[in-house]
Amino acid sequence: MDIVSFDPKVHRPRWDDFIVASYRNPNYVMLSPTFLRWQFFDNPANQTGGYTLWVVEQKEEIVAQLGFVPFLGITPSGEHIHGAYPINLMVRPEYRSVGLGAILLRRLLKQFPCLVNPGVNEAGAALGEGLGMTNLGFLRRYVAIVDKQTAQVLAVNGRLPRGVEEAAPAAANVIVSTKVPDKAGAGFAFPQPAYGAERSRDFLRWRYESHPAFTYEFIFSTDYRSVLVFHEERETENGILVLRVVDALCRPEHQSALLSAVVLAGKERRAAIVDFFCSLDCLRPALDAAGFFDEAQHADGHIAALFQPLDFRKTAIRVLASCPGWNEGRLEDWYITKADSDQDRPNDRRAIKETVSATQGR
Ligand SMILES: CC(C)(COP(=O)(O)OP(=O)(O)OC[C@H]1O[C@@H](n2cnc3c(N)ncnc32)[C@H](O)[C@@H]1OP(=O)(O)O)[C@@H](O)C(=O)NCCC(=O)NCCS
C-alpha cells in the first residue's frame, strides 16, 4: 500500500468513487473541484506545492485518506510554530481496524509540531487519544435569542431555555464590510494571549474573502484594531435565518460594541438567533451585555446547532490537540472557534460556486 499526495489528474475519478462510497453522498462537498482546491491547495500556509490530502492506494483502488489544513500557530508569548488541522480522515469500511487510520494520523503528528482537531467524533477521538493527543473538551456555544417565536422553531420540542429573554443590544459605532481593507494592518490579535492559529491578513483573506460558498461579513471597530466575523445561514425547510459568528478578534475595549452590533444586525435582518462557538471564557462579560447566554448553563432547552437542513443531533464541538512542549491541557489557554479547521463549511457540493480554473485541475 502506498500513501501519496492527492493529484486530481491522477486520482480522479477513482477517488470520486471512494468519496461517494465512503460518505454515501453523491453530492458530498469534497466532490466540488473548487472547494477541494480552496480547502487543500490555496491555503496560504500550504508549503507542500500540492494538495494537502493524502490518499492510500491499494492496487488501483483508493482505500483511505487523510486531509490536513496547515496553519501558522502562535503562542501567548508570540512564538510561532507550524501547525495543521487533520480533516476528513476516512478508511473504507472493509479496510478498518487494521491500523490504517493510526498510520495516517501518526504520520501527520510526525510532520507538524502542533495538531488541533476541533469537531472530532467518537472514533476519531479514540484514535487521536490512543496516539497521545489531548482531549481539551468542548467549545462553548454562546447564543443570543433575537426573535423568540422563530427561535422556538429551532429548539428541541419548541422549548427555549427557561429565563432566557430576547436580546436588546445597544447601538454601536462600527464599520461593516465584506473585505479586509489594507488599513486593517497585518492581522488581528486574539481577545487574550492564547495558543491558536494566527489570524494574519493572509489567513483572513483566504479563509473568508475567498471562501467558495459563504459570504462572510466583517464588523470592525472604528480604529480597525478589532474585528468580528459572521455569516448568514438560512434554514432550507422553513427559511429561518441564523447569524453565525465565527471569529471575535476583539480587544477588551471593543468587545461590547462589536457583539452588540452583530445582534443588532440580527434584529434588522429578522434572524431567529445569533450563535458563536468559542474556547475562551474572557469574552463572557461582553457577551452577557450583548444578550448572549452560554448554552452549557441552560440544560433545560436546546437549540439546533446544525442547519441546512435542521439537525438536532450534533450538539457540541470536541477539540483534540497535540503540541509537545506547548501547553495542551486547558481549553481556556487556546483561541479556537468555528473558523478553525473545517467546522464552518457546507456539506453539500451544490452550495459551492464552481470556478472554471478549479474544474480544469490545478
Ligand atoms: C475512525 C477511522 C478513520 C479509524 O480508522 P481505522 O483504520 O479503522 O483505525 P485503526 O485500525 O488504525 O485503529 C486504531 C485505533 O483507533 C481506535 N478506533 C478506531 N476506530 C474506532 C471506533 N470506531 N471506535 C472506537 N475506537 C476506534 C481504536 O483504539 C483502534 O485500536 P484497536 O484497533 O487496537 O482497537 C475509521 O473508523 C473511519 O474511517 N471511520 C469513518 C470516518 C470517521 O469517523 N473519521 C474520523 C473523523 S474525526
Query: Within this chain, do residues 150 and 107 fall inside the same structural domain, yes or no?
Result: no
Positive or negative, the Cα torsion across 355, 360, 361, 362?
negative
Residue 362: pLDDT band (50, 70, 90) is: low
Q: How far apart are the first and last CA of the chain?
A: 25
* Reported confidence tier of residue 303, pLDDT bands at 50, 70, 90: confident
CATH of the domain at 301: 3.40.630.170
Q: Which of 324, 267, 273 is nearest to 301 (CA)?
A: 273
100 Cα–ligand 1 center, Å: 9
Q: Is residue 340 part of a domain?
A: no
Which range, of 50-64, 207-221, 315-329, averages the lowest pLDDT?
A: 315-329
Confidence band for 110, pLDDT divided at 50, 70 and 90: very high
Query: What's the pLDDT band for 236 if we cut at 50, 70, 90?
Result: confident
**Which of the four pLDDT bands, split at 50, 70 and 90, describes residue 300?**
confident
pLDDT tens column, 183-215: 888 999 999 999 999 999 999 999 999 999 999
CA–CA dist 96, 258 (Å, integer): 47
For strand 174-177 and strand 216-221, is the pairing parallel, antiparallel, or unpaired? antiparallel
Look at residue 21 and tell me whether its pLDDT is greater than 80.
yes
Rounded CA-CA distance 151/256 in Å is 23
Q: Ligand 1 centroid to 6 CA: how many Å?
A: 22
Q: Residue 39 sits in a domain of what CATH number?
A: 3.40.630.30
> Domain range holding 11?
2-112+349-359
- Residue 261 sits in the same domain as residue 157: yes
Ligand 1: which residues within 6 Å by Cβ? 89-91, 96-102, 120-124, 126-127, 130
162 and 309 in a common domain: yes
3-state secondary structure 135-185: EEEECEEEEEECCHHHHHHCEHHHCCCCCCCCCCCCCCCEEEECCCCHHHC
The answer to whether 264 and 169 have CB atoms below 8 angstroms apart is yes
For residues 74 and 14, membership in a common domain is answered with yes
* Domain assignment present for 130: no
Answer yes or no: is 118 within a domain: no
Q: Which atom of ligand 1 is nearest to the CA of 90?
A: 39
Claim to verify: residue 86 and residue 233 sit in the same structural domain: no
Is 134 part of any domain?
no
What band does 308 get if pLDDT is binned at 50, 70 and 90? confident
Please give the residue that has the higher pLDDT: either 358 or 249: 249
**Dmax (CA) of the chain:** 63
pLDDT at 361: 54
Distance CA 196, CA 205 (A): 18
Pairing verdict, β 241-249 and 273-278? parallel
Structural domain total, the chain: 2
pLDDT of amino acid 358: 62
Same-domain status, 151 and 96: no
Together in a domain, 164 and 103:
no
pTM of the full structure? 0.94
Residue 221 included in any domain: yes
